Amino acid sequence: MQHIFLKGMLTVLLLLLVTSLVLGAASVPNLINFQGRLTDASGNPVADGSHTVNFTLWTLPVGGSTVWTENTSQTTSSGLFTHNLGSITVLPATLFQTYDSLYLQVQADGQTILPRIRLTSTPYTRVSNILETDNTIIPGNLAFESVPTGLFRTFGDDGLEQIRLWGNSWGEIYLYDSDVTNDITVVLTANSSEGGELNLRNDAGTTTIDLHGGLTGDASAVLPLGAINAAEMLNEPGVSNSVGPSFFGLSSGNITYVVDSVDITIPSSGYVEVLCGAYLNLYHVTGVSTSIYIGSNKTRGSAPVETGVAVARVPGIIATSSIWAFPMTSSKLYAEAAGTHRYYLHVDYETGTSASSALSYSYIRAKYYPTLYGTATLANATAGADLINTSTDGSLPAPPTEITTITVQDHNARLEAEVAKVKAELEARLQKLEQRLNKQDSGVEK
């Protein structure tokens, strides 16, 4: 007689792998229910009677090794039969704890079904057998308490208690250490009258850390002396500072100097304010405008004229002077990600012919702030003079519709135009004065 399974040699139209989770004194049955239907090559049920049906569990869908085998004789009715796997050959107690994937192979009347059928989650409820509902101390088992105030306890291989969940008017969780004294090291309490409490103890059972939700002030959080360390302070504002030489000489114009730099490492995204400054001794030669800028930037050797830059300028028409003294201070705010960032102190000697100008007592200082309050316009850390707007909640509002940037050339042109205007007015007044003097000398006007 020929049999078929589905579209192969044997048809099993229904496979039910069922276990029952019984919460009570009894353990979970170590059986898996299997139902099948045998048909011939035409799809008709096989003749009623006895048929050999063997079951094997494999570790892989193809090949692998067998971990359990059961040979049975099934009596069919209209091709149907039912069998409890494990009723003849007992399923190993730890089978479903050891293997997370098992494949059932069925052989009927000497014909093997391929492919094998993977067992899904239902048989794995067999591991719930480790749950017990009495107070029996069994290592590795979870014991449900029978007393009114208890729920469950777990025990270690040494037979000592590990975890206890219990409580009458409120709930508590106890955690025990592995010492022979079996001390309670963690207690979590939910007390409606006193508030929740987390109590941590050392090996001797003495409380070292206590967090109490029902208390206020210092009593609400008790920590050991020295418990707050440097790593825990990194989310606070911090500063990094560098002081430059007492004298830094500058050559004549059109040169950018890198005077100093400072590194700061921040633990998370935030804001870095970079302050820099110096005492500038500026020597000026008439005929050429002397312009010197001081500021910070993240790109070495780049000193764009942007927000926060400090400038000292003497117009070209001013007579030569041995020294002009300027206290210079520059400040810029950067939005930064976590990590180490470097900032450079630049001096841009843009125009001028004197080689005697010098910078004294320079400094550059980076301050980290984890939070931005209010609204600020921040210098983009990667795009030079570009600007971004950041609001209080960290979102990016729409940029302004117009941003006006004044370059060094624009500024010089404005100053020269103002000087030319003043010069023209002075020349016009001098001409009028000369005319009046000439009239007096000629006797026309006395």
Instruction: State mean pLDDT over 307-336.
Output: 90
3 state DSSP class of 42: coil
Q: pLDDT tens digits, residue range 35-77?
A: 888 888 888 898 999 999 999 999 999 999 999 999 999 999 9
Q: Which two tokens stand for residue 143?
A: 């014991």
**How many CB atoms sit inside 10 A of residue 415's CB?**
15
**Judgement on whether residues 196 and 318 belong to the same structural domain of the protein:** no
Domain of residue 184, residue span: 134-227
Whether residue 383 is predicted with pLDDT greater than 60 in this model: the reply is no
Residue 252 domain flag: yes
> What pTM was estimated for this model as a whole?
0.40
Contact between 119 and 102 (Cβ < 8 Å): yes
Q: Which two tokens stand for residue 433?
A: 């004065």
**Judgement on whether residues 185 and 145 belong to the same structural domain of the protein:** yes
**Judgement on whether residues 98 and 138 belong to the same structural domain of the protein:** no
Residue 233 domain flag: no
Q: Give the Cα separation of 210 and 123 in Å (integer).
A: 44
Give residue 69's pLDDT.
96
Q: In sequence order, what are the beta bridge partners of 312? A: 292
Interior CA angle at 5 toward 3 and 10, to 5°? Answer: 30
What is the per-residue DSSP string for 240-286? EEEE--S-EE--SSSEEEEEEEEEEEESSSEEEEEEEEEEEEEEE-T
**Judgement on whether residues 301 and 330 belong to the same structural domain of the protein:** yes
**Judgement on whether residues 122 and 7 belong to the same structural domain of the protein:** yes
**Judgement on whether residues 41 and 21 belong to the same structural domain of the protein:** yes
**CA-CA-CA-CA dihedral for 283, 288, 293, 297, to nearest 10:** -130
Give residue 443's pLDDT.
52
Give residue 232's pLDDT.
54
Q: Going by C-beta distance under 8 Å and a sequence separation of 6 or more, which residues neighbour residue 428?
A: none
**Judgement on whether residues 422 and 336 belong to the same structural domain of the protein:** no
Contact between 286 and 322 (Cβ < 8 Å): no
Contact between 391 and 375 (Cβ < 8 Å): yes
CA-based nearest residue to 270, from 367, 344, 342: 367
CA-based nearest residue to 237, from 102, 371, 101: 371
Q: Total structural domains in the chain?
A: 4
Q: pLDDT tens digits, residue range 166-220?
A: 777 778 888 888 777 888 888 888 876 778 888 888 887 788 888 888 888 878 8
Sign of the torsion formed by the C-alpha atoms of 384, 390, 394 and 396: negative
**Judgement on whether residues 253 and 389 belong to the same structural domain of the protein:** yes
Q: How confident is the model at residue 138 (pLDDT cuts 50, 70, 90)?
A: low
Considering only CA atoms, give the Rg of the chain: 44
Q: In sequence order, what are the beta bridge partners of 160? A: none
Residue 99 domain flag: yes
Q: Give the Cα separation of 248 and 365 in Å (integer).
A: 18
**Judgement on whether residues 142 and 276 belong to the same structural domain of the protein:** no
Contact between 440 and 446 (Cβ < 8 Å): yes
Q: Which two tokens stand for residue 267?
A: 């633990």
Contact between 380 and 388 (Cβ < 8 Å): yes
Residue 386 domain flag: yes
**Judgement on whether residues 265 and 380 belong to the same structural domain of the protein:** yes
**Judgement on whether residues 324 and 419 belong to the same structural domain of the protein:** no
